Amino acid sequence: MLITQASNRINSTRQAEFRAWMIRNSLTYVAIGKHLGMSGSGVLRLISGKRMPVKRHAQLLELGVPEYLLPYPLDVPRGPKKKNASPSA
């Protein structure tokens, strides 16, 4: 429980710093979303998460977003996990 609370505080601090960075650079979630080809709410979801796709992470870095403001870049496979085929005897 304590780890979750600490993680939430770090996330909210990072999000607040990201919002401050956007204000300093006269950007909005919608404007960033247009550069990424997605909606402003999609950008907010990316920033709010603990990880984001590597492609989006790279795109945000290209826009000049400092890396410490971004979640960890990690591509997570979508869909159900594949079952291991058991060898036939």
Q: How far is CA 39 from the centre of its chain?
A: 14
Question: Which residue would you say has higher pLDDT here, 29 or 76?
Answer: 29
pLDDT at 7 over 50: no
- What confidence score (pLDDT) does residue 2 get? 47
**pLDDT above 50 for 5:** no
Going through 1-89 in order, the beta strands assigned E by DSSP cover: 51-52, 72-73
Tell which residue, 69, 61, 53, has the closest CA to residue 13. Answer: 69
Q: What is the pLDDT of residues 42-81, one digit of tens each?
A: 999 999 999 999 999 999 999 999 999 999 999 988 888 8
With a cut of 90, say whether residue 17 has pLDDT above it. yes
Q: How many CB atoms lie within 10 A of CB 47?
A: 22
